[in-house]
Structure 1
Amino acid sequence: MRIKTIAAIPLRIPFGDRYGGPRAKRRGWTEFDSLLVRVEADDGTVGWGEAFAYSCLSTVRTAIEEMVAPLATGREVGDIATFSRMLQKELHIWGRYGITIFALSGLDIALWDIAAKQAGKSLAEYLGGRRRHDLPAYASLVRYGGPQPVDAMVRQAVADGYNDVKLHETTYETIAAARLAAGADIRLTADINCGWSLAEAEDMLPRMRALDLYWVEEPVFPPEDYETLQALGRFGVALAAGENACTAMEFARLVPALAFPQPSVIKVGGISEFLAVADLARRAGKPLMPHTPYFGPGYWATLQLAAHLQEIALFEFLYVHPEAFCGRDIPLPDRGHIAIPDAPGIGFTPDDDTLRRCRVA
């Protein structure tokens, strides 16, 4: 394929967090910043990607428009992974990770979408075969900051049919309240978002084990400190990390230290780097738990990867109510499972009304 045009489409979509009871403090996160990447090939095929853009929407947009698009537009693309790696090399002076890789992730996803569409196949089939048609999902709760709302939201998620629930809480009292609300049969996890010091982690991890947490995610800062993560494994609690790691090179260091590597397709470098991470996990015998708290093309691309890769164990579904979805007919969980579409490419078709209403000037 030859790249004809690349466009970045910034969106801001309000959402509700499903909780209507009393709160200790006001909600801090009320809108999704999403950056769609539209790529058109010279034959007219359009591919869609997504670049991570939470709280950095305009910066990532600028990276695509001023760094990535001038390099990639007009180029012939044969092997997508090789092309993406070449772009990484050409842009490395601005940093190997972060904003640069977020921008490249969006382009890479769109290129794979085009290639699969040109072949008349879903991405899963294009990658070598569709191995499953649905996927178990877990309810990923936002941070509520206290036992009362967490109790209510865990009970609601369990009533909706989820067997796995993830918290974004850091205190023992709140996590213990969630365990009591969930009951012994529900797998409960906690994403600490690097919120504990090393001393706090050493104090809390035995208590998390007593609560029978399925995993504890990113307990300390920095999240890529694989030596500390490996050392914390002595407490007998499964550890997960990787949503903030870019490229397979970072995962080569992280995978041995983790029970559950967590690549994010819109942050790691797109589908090309995600496949390389999956290969690392396969050789290490580690299941993947992708980071997917978004609803754009990255959501759809992850589902297609899950249809192809047996290493993916669960799909992270952000347990909120967006006011709109940027893609038409988005497959949502039903009793804790998501049916994976079989449309050409990643399956994403933009909702033009949402793109018009929610586009950021």
Structure 2
Amino acid sequence: MRISGVACHVLKWPEPNDFNHERMTVLVRVETDAGIHGWGEAIAMWPEACRASVVLIEDGLAPLLMGRDPRETLACWQAMKDHTWWYGEGGIAALAISALDMAIWDIAAKDAGKPLVEYLGGAAHESLPACASLHVNQATIADSVREIAGHIEAGFQSTKLGLGKRGLSRAGRDPDYDVALVAALRSAIGPEAGIMVDAGNGTKWDLETAIRTVKRMEESGIAWIEEPFLPARVEDHAALKKAVSTPVAAGEREWNEAGYRRWLATGAIDVFGIDPARVEGVTGFRRSAAAIEAAGKTVNAHAWSSAVLTAASLHLSLAAPSAILFELKPLPGPMQFELVEEPFWHENGVVHAPNRPGHGAEPIASAIEKYRVG
């Protein structure tokens, strides 16, 4: 079996979980001469990054993969890494590698007739608890709590609150508001459901504000505080970890195993977010997760884009011993419920991988055409 073709699809859609703002991604379909194809994703997000990813895929990486056996996943991945040796320590190169590597693993698992998690060596978890990963964007605390509590009532076992997002909320821009929001939510959903707080890019805390705010949130029993600072502020991450009892999470903006190893050396993070559509694909995720788990830390898939990324992230999470939950966007959107015939969702609060060969996300041609912009 040999790789015989690569096609890129740039998609744009209104995302209900992001206050109906438009988001973008790049889906890649890899063909073989055996008639088996695979799908991958580069979560490039911005228009210029999507265009650049397509150029790297079509002009740089696809030609060197032609004629290769996709079942030789590591050799294909290494060939892409070798090709990008000058410009490829992260950035657009990592996005491009991610999409192709993900599709290649999909092909290899399909050829073996196995779900990806089995092809990876078997499941460490039969299922994972479902987490409603959302943006807080309602006008008032009462409105936000009502919406979030509804997701818990619908079966989600936990929720991750994205602060500083687009919408009507002051969340992420007023620490007192954030503390009151978490307290009100805890009161509404009771003591059992988990609450994670994702400070996010729109939240601009200095170290003192972060320490004070997280300590106040601890009274409501938050499970972790995520991305409290920009990644470059390593010392602040370490200082926050030392000052609070809440685990610190970060990593979704890292690019590869080397980046995670640098974070591990700081001792500043407890929960490591990994995005296989960003960290050089399934191969990059596995390598990064192995290093993280060897250090006794927790792996958490960042899977906030299309069903293709959700599929790969789910199989990788089920194969990762240290994964403790799986995040789903709680509001039905086109990239989850229109893109594929069998959307990924929870059943009684837990998420299972589909029992079909590959990662299990097969985009529908009409949906691709509906949302395609490049």
Q: Could you tell me the TM-score, scaled by structure 2's length?
A: 0.87
User: Which position in structure 2 is the counterpart of 1:339?
Assistant: 352
Instruction: State the alpha-carbon separation in 1 of the partners of residues 147 and 371 from structure 2.
Output: 28
SS at match of 1:262: strand
Instruction: State the alpha-carbon separation in 1 of the partners of residues 355 and 19 from structure 2.
Output: 37
Verify the 8 A CA contact 1:63 1:103 in the aligned structure 2: yes
The residue type equivalent to 2:188 in the other structure is A
User: Which position in structure 2 is the counterpart of 1:351?
Assistant: 364
User: Which position in structure 1 is the counterpart of 2:213?
Assistant: 204
Instruction: State the alpha-carbon separation in 2 of the partners of residues 130 and 186 from structure 1.
Output: 25
1:62-101 aligned within 5 A: 62-77=55-70, 79-101=72-94
Instruction: State the alpha-carbon separation in 2 of the partners of residues 172 and 292 from structure 1.
Output: 29
The residue type equivalent to 2:100 in the other structure is L
Instruction: State the alpha-carbon separation in 1 of the partners of residues 29 and 272 from structure 2.
Output: 29
Instruction: State the alpha-carbon separation in 2 of the partners of residues 74 and 278 from structure 1.
Output: 30
Instruction: State the alpha-carbon separation in 2 of the partners of residues 45 and 270 from structure 1.
Output: 19
The residue type equivalent to 1:238 in the other structure is P
Larger CA deviation: 281-290 vs 110-119 = 281-290
> How far off is 1:129 after superposition?
1.8
User: Which position in structure 2 is the counterpart of 1:155?
Assistant: 149
User: Which position in structure 2 is the counterpart of 1:213?
Assistant: 222
> How far off is 1:41 after superposition?
1.8
User: Which position in structure 2 is the counterpart of 1:21?
Assistant: none
Alignment RMSD: 2.1
Instruction: State the alpha-carbon separation in 2 of the partners of residues 61 and 181 from structure 1.
Output: 46
Percent identical: 30
Q: 1:78 to 1:134 in 2, by over 3 A?
A: closer
1:1-361 aligned within 5 A: 1-17=1-17, 29-55=20-46, 56-77=49-70, 79-144=72-137, 146-169=140-163, 170=172, 171-173=175-177, 174-194=181-201, 195=203, 196-221=205-230, 223=231, 225-234=233-242, 235-255=244-264, 256-323=267-334, 324-361=337-374
Q: 1:103 to 1:160 in 2, by over 3 A?
A: same
Instruction: State the alpha-carbon separation in 2 of the partners of residues 237 and 126 from structure 1.
Output: 35
SS at match of 2:13: strand
Verify the 8 A CA contact 1:295 1:325 in the aligned structure 2: no
The residue type equivalent to 1:185 in the other structure is E
Instruction: State the alpha-carbon separation in 1 of the partners of residues 209 and 72 from structure 2.
Output: 46
The residue type equivalent to 1:119 in the other structure is A
Instruction: State the alpha-carbon separation in 2 of the partners of residues 322 and 176 from structure 1.
Output: 29
SS at match of 1:109: helix
Larger CA deviation: 248-257 vs 169-178 = 169-178
Instruction: State the alpha-carbon separation in 2 of the partners of residues 161 and 29 from structure 1.
Output: 24
SS at match of 1:34: strand
> How far off is 1:204 after superposition?
1.7
SS at match of 1:189: strand
**Unaligned stretches of 5+ in structure 1?**
18-26
Aligned residues: 351
Instruction: State the alpha-carbon separation in 2 of the partners of residues 32 and 352 from structure 1.
Output: 19
Q: Could you tell me the TM-score, scaled by structure 1's length?
A: 0.90
> How far off is 1:224 after superposition?
5.2
Verify the 8 A CA contact 2:196 2:225 in the aligned structure 1: yes
Q: 1:225 to 1:4 in 2, by over 3 A?
A: farther
> How far off is 1:298 after superposition?
1.4
**Unaligned stretches of 5+ in structure 2?**
164-171
Query: Could you list the per-position Cα deviations for residues 251-304 of structure 1 after superposition, in whole angstroms to 9, with x for gaps in the alignment?
Result: 112243221111011111111011112211221222211111123211111121
The residue type equivalent to 1:40 in the other structure is E
Larger CA deviation: 33-42 vs 124-133 = 124-133
Verify the 8 A CA contact 2:304 2:328 in the aligned structure 1: yes
Q: 1:224 to 1:128 in 2, by over 3 A?
A: farther
Instruction: State the alpha-carbon separation in 2 of the partners of residues 31 and 199 from structure 1.
Output: 35
> How far off is 1:95 after superposition?
4.1
Query: Could you list the per-position Cα deviations for residues 16-49 of structure 1 after superposition, in whole angstroms to 9, with x for gaps in the alignment?
Result: 24xxxxxxxxx76523323211001232210111
Q: 1:204 to 1:92 in 2, by over 3 A?
A: farther
Query: Could you list the per-position Cα deviations for residues 217-273 of structure 1 after superposition, in whole angstroms to 9, with x for gaps in the alignment?
Result: 01011x254443222111222111111111111111224322111101111111101
Instruction: State the alpha-carbon separation in 1 of the partners of residues 283 and 216 from structure 2.
Output: 38
User: Which position in structure 2 is the counterpart of 1:20?
Assistant: none
